Structure 1
Amino acid sequence: MLTYLAAALPRFASPAARLLALQCALRANSRGHVHMPAGLLRGMRLHGRRELWEELAHADWLRTSGPRSSVPGVQLLDAALLDQTPGRSARRRAAHWALRPAPVRLPAAAPPTLRLVALVLAAHMSSAACQRTDMDVLAWLCGHSRHQAAELLDRLVVTGVLAAWQHDRDADEVLWQLPRTGRRSIASLPPSSTVHDQAR
């Protein structure tokens, strides 16, 4: 779904709008209608953010029921979305997971920019001690430049969400470790000119 949204939404779409679009896409019924409860929006720290709905409407991705409603009824306009393979129950489970993308743990007050990067990292997690993904893919899914993505990864290290991250320039991949793996395992990362470790 993150890949679909990266292709369907404009590159300039804000991280908060992307998170809102993800929840809409995962919670839509078979006709593309979505009801977003106020409590859910408050939990996402997006309640009352009418400008996000307008941003998605301006991109012709959805239509809202009216300009005065803070929790509008929504009709998704992209027919390709309704052809997504997972059923509604699977998408609803994914929607709940996307709010707290284990095993990446974010502080409750984390801004949408960090939430989106953490979600993309969590979606690329495997059982390996050191996780990796392509740098261009990470930046594209987050709607950022490569430089912005690197700065956000730095912030995840500073806040303790990641233990460390590194850009393997030869493979053009981002490698990262969660805090539970500890600082000692950073030595097992391939050498690179840029290594970001946890701030003390």
Structure 2
Amino acid sequence: MSETLVGIMNNESSALDPKLMREIINSLGEETAYPPVRHMVRDWNPAFGSCVPATVVYIAIKELEDSDSVMKAFLVRDLEQEGTPIEAHFVMTDGKSCVVDFTPAKHGEGEFALYSDQETSELIEDMLSEETLPQRVGVVLERIGSQYDVDSIFTAFRRALKKGGAAEMDRNKVKETLVEFWQHRI
């Protein structure tokens, strides 16, 4: 995975840890991809669906190591893929000055929307109950040499999710930032 696949919109944000971000990006691949869609997207994105384990691991480690850090997880809806398993894309923001996107979703073209907070909460619960996610999170943890186990990551992620859920997010600013980022990484 190329380092260019991560969107760091403001390097001043305390929510960002560029070293950890690079380690996570470099850990992603076919083994961390979402199994039901691997065959659908293997040619253009063999790590598709790795946004979920990457985002879970990043938010959880930030929670474990810097409990003052608040990251809000949110989901992007690819309107061109509506109704397919590749409709949703997992991203995060500090709610102020940065958006972090670990894997390529849109490539600067096409329509997208942000799921509502309620929809995001429901979809994240579905993602967390996906049977291969613990194994995919484990692959990321092993590849980055993490001291944490899968259970502690899920516990910390849920704690951070509650904290981040209360954070405000300027939806228009997030959309503008995503469009700008996606257009520049082609």
TM over 0.5: no
**Whose relative contact order is higher, 1 or 2, with alpha carbons under 8 Å and at least 6 apart?**
2
Using the size of structure 1 for normalisation, the TM-score is 0.27
Which structure has the larger Rg over C-alpha atoms? Answer: 1
Q: Which has the higher helix share?
A: 2
